[in-house]
Amino acid sequence: MITAIRRAVTSRVGAIIGLIFLGVVGLSFAMTDVSNLGFGGTNVGAGNVAKVGGEAITINDVRSRFNNALRQAQQEQPGLTPAAFIAQGGLDDVIKELTDISALEQYARSIGLEMDRAAVDALIARDPAFAGITGTFDQQTFEARIAQEGKSASEVREEVAARAIVRQLLAPIGQVTAIPTGMTVPYGSLLLEQRFGEASFIPASRFVPTAAPTDAQLQAYYTSQRARYTLPERRSIRFAILDQGAVRTSPEPTAAEIEAEYRANAARFAASETRRLSQVIAGSREAAQRIATAARTGTLASAAQAAGLQAATVTATSQADYATGTSAATAQAVFAASEGAVVGPNQVALGWVVVKVEDITSQPARTLAQATPELTTQLRERKRREALDDLYNGAQEALAEGAALTEVAEARGLRVVSTPALTAQGLNPDDPSYRPDPLLPALLDPAFATQEGDPGQIVPLQENEVFALVEVAQIIPSAPPPLARIRERVVADWRQAEGAKVARARARQMLAAVEGGQALQAAATAAGVPGSVQTISGRRIDVARAQGRVPAEISLLFSMAPNTVKTLEMPGNTGWMVLRLNRIVRGDATGNPDLLAAVEQQFGQAIGGEYLEVILGTARREFEIQIDEEAVQRLRDELSGVATAGL
C-alpha cells in the first residue's frame, strides 16, 4: 500500500509537482524555459524542436535547458558527459518537460489566469539569481545575467509570468489536505500490523561434498556458469601528460613588445575614477522621490528602509559600464555629481532608481616605465601559454596523422605511462590490489569510447593548462578466463552449488512434513539441521520504513497467509530457509494521531498527483504537442558531439 503511494508521488507527475512547487521565483534561470515564440501553419517549423498549440519550443530553448540540466546532473555524477546524459534519457526528459509546461501555461491562460506587470517585477526583484552582494536585487546583476542567457528584460518577464501562471493553476490541486478518516484509519492500522513466525535455516556449507569433482563435472559446471565468470571488456592504456613542464623555454618580452602592449591597453593605464554608490529601485516615481528627498538629509539606506526597501552598494568603475546596468542618463548624472550627492529618481528597466555617491576614488595615469613590470609579467604568461598551445597543436596534428603516442611523447620530452588491462571502472581483475594513477579515472571514459584502430587523442584535464595524450594499446574482449586459471575458484563454487542442491532437497522435505502437520522443530531435526529453528517477527510499518533493507525472511512473512509454510532460497548458494507464519496481530491506529497525519499526507500527495495528471492530460489535448523528430535527432547528434552546431 505505502509502496504504491510512494510510486505515485515519485512518478512523472511527482516531477511536475516538484517543478511547480519547489521552484519559487528563479525559474527562468534555474531552468531556461519556453520562449513564447508563436508561429502559424501546421508544421513544427524551421529552427524548432516542437510546437505546442500556437507556441514553439525552439532548438535554442532545448539546448539551453539541456545544458542547465546537465550541469545539475554533473553535481551528482561528476564526469558525466553529454552523450552519457542523453543515453540516460536527459534530452528526452528536457523536451517532455518543456512541452508539458508550455501546454499547461497555454491552458492556464485560456481559462483566464494572468499576471500583471507589477506582480511580475516583484517576483524578479525577489529572485536570488539577481541579487547583488547585499542579498537584494541589483540592476547590474540582472542585466549581466539576462545578457549571459541572451535574453531581453521583456523575455524574462514573459518567462517569469508563465511560470507563475502555471503555479496559480496547479497549486490549489497539487496537494489534497482533507482525507476522510475512513480511509486513513484502515491503512494506518494495516501499518501497525505485527506478524509472528518461525524459521529454520539449512546452510549449504553443511552438505558440501568432500570429494573433488571430476574433470567432466567441473567442465560442465564451468560451461553452465560462463556468464558468472565472464570478465568485462578490458583495455590497456598508454598516456602522457602535457603541461607547462613540457615548455622548455620561451623568449623574454622585448622593450618594443612591452611598449606595443602599453599602447594597446592605453585605457587601462589612463587616469580613472571609481565611485562607490548606494542605490535603490522603487516601483513608482512618487515613492522614489520620497526616498530621494529623505536621503538628502540622511542616508539612502535609512530612507529606503523607511519605504520598505533595501539599498544596494555598487562599485562603478566607469560611466559606460554603469550605464549598461541602469541608463545612459543615470550614469551621466551620477558621474557628474560630487561626493555625497543624491541623484534621481531616474527611470530604469524595472522602475525608478535613486543613487547616492558615497565615495570617489581617483587613480592617476601610469607611465610606460611604471607599467613595465606588470606588462612584463603579463607578456611572459602570454608567451608561456602560446608555447603550450604550440605543443598542444603539434601533438594534436601528429596524432591525427596517425603517429604513435610514444613517438609524439618522445619528441616533446613527455613520460609515457602504460597500464595493465583494466575495466572501464579502472579495475584490474588479475590484480585486485592494483591502484591506478590518480589521473587515470579522467581518461577511462574517452579511452573506452574509441574504436580499435582509432588514432590517439588529447583529453583536457585542467582547462588550458593540463592535457593528456591517450592511446589504447590493447583491447581484450569480454569473455570468461580459461578454466585452468580460475580452477580453484570454480571448484569452491561447485562444492557450494552441490551443497545448495542438498539444502534445497532438505528444505522441500521439511516443507512437506510441516504441511502434513509436523512441527517445524521436529521437521528440522529429521532433515539433519536440529536446533536451527528461530522465532521471527516484525511490523509492517518497519518493513515499509526499511525500503528494501529488511531481511528477506521478514519480507516474505508479510506475503503469507496464517498457518502456512514456505521455502526461501538465500543468495549466493548459501542455503535455504523454511518459514512458518504462526500468528497475525491486527493493528489499531485510532490512538496514533502522528501516524494518521503521515498517512493523510501521503494520500494527499498521491491523490493530488492524480488530479495534476488529469489537468496535464487536458492541457495536452487542448494544445496539441507536435515533435519534429528530425530536429530532435540533429540536436541529439550535436549535443553528443556527433555533429557540429548550427542547426
461-492 pLDDT, tens digit each:
887 788 888 999 899 999 999 999 999 999 99
Residue of 189 and 234 predicted with greater confidence: 234
Q: Which of 157-171, 398-412, 596-610 has the highest mean pLDDT?
A: 398-412
Phi, psi of 472 (to 5 degrees): -90, 120
Q: Is 109 exposed, middle or buried (0-12, 13-18, 19+ CB in 10 A)?
A: middle
pLDDT, residue 136, reads 74
Q: Give the integer Cα–Cα distance in Å for 603 and 4.
A: 10
Kindly state the helix (H) or strand (E) to which residue 471 belongs, with its residue range.
strand 466-476
pLDDT, residue 21, reads 40
Q: Give the integer Cα–Cα distance in Å for 187 and 295.
A: 63
**1 pLDDT above the threshold of 60:** no
pLDDT, residue 82, reads 84
C-alpha distances (whole Å) from 75 to each of 79, 149, 192, 290, 480 are 9, 21, 39, 47, 36
Q: Give the integer Cα–Cα distance in Å for 64 and 33.
A: 8
Q: 569-603: string of b/e by CB count within 10 Å (b at 16+)? A: ebeebbbbbbbbbbebeebebeebeebbebbbbbb
Residue of 283 and 646 predicted with greater confidence: 283
Q: How confident is the model at residue 16 (pLDDT cuts 50, 70, 90)?
A: very low
Phi, psi of 229 (to 5 degrees): -100, -5
pLDDT, residue 15, reads 44
Kindly state the helix (H) or strand (E) to which residue 571 belongs, with its residue range.
none
Phi, psi of 521 (to 5 degrees): -65, -45
Residue of 176 and 247 predicted with greater confidence: 247
**169 pLDDT above the threshold of 90:** no
pLDDT, residue 523, reads 94
- Averaged pLDDT for residues 251-263: 84
pTM confidence score:
0.48
Grid cell digits, residue 596: 494518521
Of 459, 432, 463, the closest CA to residue 444 belongs to 459
Residue of 330 and 24 predicted with greater confidence: 330
**327 pLDDT above the threshold of 90:** no
**335 pLDDT above the threshold of 70:** yes
Using alpha carbons only, how large is the chain's radius of gyration in Å?
35
Residue of 462 and 342 predicted with greater confidence: 342
Q: How confident is the model at residue 41 (pLDDT cuts 50, 70, 90)?
A: very low
Kindly state the helix (H) or strand (E) to which residue 221 belongs, with its residue range.
helix 215-224
**642 pLDDT above the threshold of 70:** no
Q: How confident is the model at residue 38 (pLDDT cuts 50, 70, 90)?
A: very low
**100 pLDDT above the threshold of 50:** yes
**84 pLDDT above the threshold of 80:** yes
**44 pLDDT above the threshold of 70:** no
pLDDT, residue 13, reads 41
- Averaged pLDDT for residues 343-372: 86
pLDDT digits (tens, 9 = 90+) for 138-151: 787 887 777 776 67
pLDDT, residue 534, reads 93
Average predicted confidence (pLDDT) for the chain: 82
pLDDT digits (tens, 9 = 90+) for 422-447: 998 888 888 888 888 888 888 888 88
Give the dihedral sign, CA 442/446/452/458. negative
Residue of 524 and 19 predicted with greater confidence: 524
**Strand 234-242's sheet: what is its strand order?**
416-418, 234-242, 466-476, 457-462
At 638, is the secondary structure helix, strand, or coil? Answer: helix
∠ CA 441-442-447, rounded to 5°:
90
Least confidently predicted of 1-15, 176-190, 279-293, 401-415 = 1-15
Residue of 77 and 502 predicted with greater confidence: 502
Contact (CB, 8 A) for 578 and 209: no
In the block, cell 509492517 appears at 540
**120 pLDDT above the threshold of 70:** yes
Q: 186-221: string of b/e by CB count within 10 Å (b at 16+)? A: ebbbbbbbebebbbbbbbbeebbeeeebeeeebeeb
Q: Is 612 exposed, middle or buried (0-12, 13-18, 19+ CB in 10 A)?
A: buried
Q: How confident is the model at residue 372 (pLDDT cuts 50, 70, 90)?
A: confident
**25 pLDDT above the threshold of 60:** no
**216 pLDDT above the threshold of 90:** yes
Q: Which of 42-51, 318-327, 363-372, 518-527 has the highest mean pLDDT?
A: 518-527
Least confidently predicted of 160-169, 559-568, 619-628 = 160-169
Q: How confident is the model at residue 26 (pLDDT cuts 50, 70, 90)?
A: very low
Phi, psi of 464 (to 5 degrees): 65, 10
Q: How confident is the model at residue 639 (pLDDT cuts 50, 70, 90)?
A: confident
pLDDT digits (tens, 9 = 90+) for 56-72: 888 888 888 888 888 88
Of 639, 477, 579, 645, the closest CA to residue 94 belongs to 639
pLDDT, residue 176, reads 57
pLDDT, residue 497, reads 93
User: What percentage of residues in the chain have a pLDDT greater than 90?
Assistant: 19
Cis peptide before 477 (omega within 30 of 0): no
- Averaged pLDDT for residues 359-369: 85
**172 pLDDT above the threshold of 90:** no
pLDDT, residue 105, reads 87
pLDDT, residue 645, reads 43
